[in-house]
Chain A
């Protein structure tokens, strides 16, 4: 946080200075993924050192320049240059239901290419389209009449890598603006070459005598590794409060040896945002006969600023739900995108140089991903800041907290062992016993999440698939008895979510107990929701005066309850706490129970 403040002050000082003419250059280099990550993280290197090595790789044919733009900046106004293709595509559609026709009434431009924009408020924006847009066909269905109609319309999905960061000029030399996976990474075949796009920026004074300020490098690289469940305990043992360089090195070695998979890598300068994604278009009104569209980002995004790191990564290309709408016309379907994505937000003090474990989230078994045996996602950041900034930054005195949640499925007969909740109980022994049973198969761990954050600041991690269901629809059973037309949809979030905000209280008299302000919450699902079938939907609409059938959500939720006497949550120092036993709502699953444990560790 304070490091960020220091950076901001340096930026403002530069902004106040008179802006002499300078030349801004922006180069995007496509470089091999793992080698580039090792270059960025195995040891401390300045931006200039990394850029020099990348250019050596370009000369040797191991990397390639995919975009290169430079532009003169003469006075403190926006500078802008771009190269690419301006696509015209339709922006408004009109409809005719009877013959199932959608036709464009208005078109407009969409730019695909490379852009350099430097704004007068010291904001550098780079955007790059690594490939042409993808043409996606969407069904156009009008089933609420006797002679139903089916057609298709076409929509453009655009791929874009966009980096937007604070960079104060004048400066001299080279800096890295951002690093990302190509925006079309998820569309490529498994086994295809894996690359990172590194955006290098440089400025040189157009007046030789001008004493320009060299840019303080301030690089934050985030990575998500998918590892087997069994490795998580080893990783947490390797984790050190003093720094996680050894842990990161081990993960990189595991990826090279095939024992782990790099799920995501992306980073940018401090106080920056990066998005590398497919902008997937989907209908938002009249979903079967689209009249309005929006886009969702499917790919990676990273935000770094003021101590906060936020990472989101899609684990697969946008999955598509298909709702059958007619019993006599199987072609009549409604499509809806159902993204599967992992997310982490942590507000923490990153080291000046080095790696820090931010979180671990285990994917629930019912979420399908490849490879199936790497279900734990490890979020880790590596920061490299200029020594001048590290020296100038005041030391942050706030302690850190590390929170963990684990959820197990047990036999109903064992419920009594876990019925009592409370910090007074020796829950570490109960948890150890349960973990042993999970190892021998007599119990099952269904969720696990671990988060690091600064005391009192919110942190969150999740792996969620969005599932949709129909909430409103039109019917005309006299005319068309076996079909319906959805008019409103809602999204169910299924997977696992863990959020924590815990601030240790300093007036503690009992060294064995630690009271906290704040709370922890774990929400997890046991399996995919039961979405009503076409028959169930039609039955419900007939029998319940047009009410849609409801989905069945297998959701479990635990929240730390405060101690009645103090209003604070209480943990025995360094020991887990049982949050009690739950069963799934609704009938069925009578033989199964679910028990959650959480722990909070203060890191000084």
Chain B
């Protein structure tokens, strides 16, 4: 009875003004387990969270909690992980065989969530626009061969410049701000072939406004 009453309360709660708390949970599940045990049932946010809590084949990887600004055009940025700087451009100095790193580029490796509320005229929350990016594996590298000897020809000595590869899932969309139940915002399969050498993994993005 208590559970029913609580559900009704949540459902009937009017949209509210002021800072709005949002939580985003990232879950993952081995695709093999998903297909064998869970795929026949419709994916549902509450059930997935429950399976993660009970550690039944679904693992909670990350939970982000933050507030959405009421002011327009002021997104909330939530980050976890580290900034990675890498060489994205080179220049030569007097020695034509010496290539010096010049331009640097940066990528945040980990998780970045950008959230922005959409409010009606009475400043009541209508929707939460979200943009999520999550690195599911550490960066790897591609190499580009570059000559380091003046002797030309097929056996010319070369070194290898390293260019990064980022392994990611991304989702951009919106959830309604008028309900506060957890919502399954996206389900994304990362196939086994995807560069990281592991097994296929299914990721779930759950948002609770």
Instruction: Give Cα distance in the complex from A81 to B187, angstroms.
Output: 9
Instruction: Give Cα distance in the complex from A377 to B154, angstroms.
Output: 42
Is A523 positioned at the interface, with any CB of B under 8 Å from its CB? no
Q: Which of A89, A96, A100 contacts B92 (CB 8 A)?
A: A96
Q: Please, which residues of chain A bring their CB within 8 A of the CB of B78?
A: none
Is A559 positioned at the interface, with any CB of B under 8 Å from its CB? no
Q: Which of B91, B154, B172, B176 contacts A81 (CB 8 A)?
A: B172
Is A429 positioned at the interface, with any CB of B under 8 Å from its CB? no
Interface string of A77-94 (1 = CB under 8 A from B): 111111111111110001
A152 to chain B, nearest CB (A): 8
Kindly identify, within residues 163 to 178 of chain B, every residue whose CB is under 8 Å from any CB belonging to chain A: 163-176
B140 to chain A, nearest CB (A): 8
Interface string of A57-98 (1 = CB under 8 A from B): 000000001111111111101111111111111100010101
Q: Please report whether the interface of chain B is mostly helix, strand, loop or mixed according to DSSP.
A: strand
- Sort chain B's interface into a size bin: 35 or more
Is A150 positioned at the interface, with any CB of B under 8 Å from its CB? yes
Name which residue of chain B comes closest to A141, CB basis.
B152
- Sort chain A's interface into a size bin: 35 or more
Kindly identify, within residues 277 to 310 of chain A, every residue whose CB is under 8 Å from any CB belonging to chain B: none
Asked if A151 contacts B156 (CB within 8 A), the reply is: yes
Interface string of A304-339 (1 = CB under 8 A from B): 000000000000000000000000000100000000
Instruction: Give Cα distance in the complex from A99 to B97, angstroms.
Output: 9
A318 to chain B, nearest CB (A): 22
A452 to chain B, nearest CB (A): 41
Is A113 positioned at the interface, with any CB of B under 8 Å from its CB? yes
Instruction: Give Cα distance in the complex from A107 to B101, angstroms.
Output: 12
Is A104 positioned at the interface, with any CB of B under 8 Å from its CB? yes
Is A14 positioned at the interface, with any CB of B under 8 Å from its CB? no
Is A243 positioned at the interface, with any CB of B under 8 Å from its CB? no
Q: Please, which residues of chain B bring their CB within 8 A of the CB of A114?
A: 189, 191
Instruction: Give Cα distance in the complex from A75 to B142, angstroms.
Output: 39
Asked if B144 contacts A154 (CB within 8 A), the reply is: yes
Binding site for B on A (CB under 8 A): 21, 23, 65-75, 77-90, 94, 96, 98-101, 103-108, 113-114, 131-132, 149-152, 154, 206, 331
For the complex of A and B, 4 pairs with smallest distance between CB atoms: A68-B189, A74-B174, A88-B163, A80-B172
Binding site for A on B (CB under 8 A): 35, 43, 86, 88-92, 96-97, 99, 102-103, 105, 127, 129, 136, 142, 144-147, 150, 152-154, 156, 161, 163-176, 183-191, 193-195, 202-203
Q: Return 29 A-B CB contacts under 8 Å, by A number.
A: A21-B176, A65-B35, A66-B191, A67-B191, A68-B188, A69-B187, A70-B43, A70-B186, A72-B183, A74-B174, A80-B173, A81-B169, A82-B188, A85-B166, A86-B166, A88-B88, A88-B142, A88-B163, A94-B92, A99-B96, A99-B97, A99-B147, A100-B147, A105-B89, A105-B90, A106-B89, A107-B88, A108-B88, A151-B147
* 11 other A-B residue contacts (CB within 8 Å) besides A70-B43, A74-B176: A68-B202, A72-B183, A85-B166, A88-B86, A88-B105, A99-B96, A99-B147, A99-B152, A100-B152, A104-B90, A113-B194
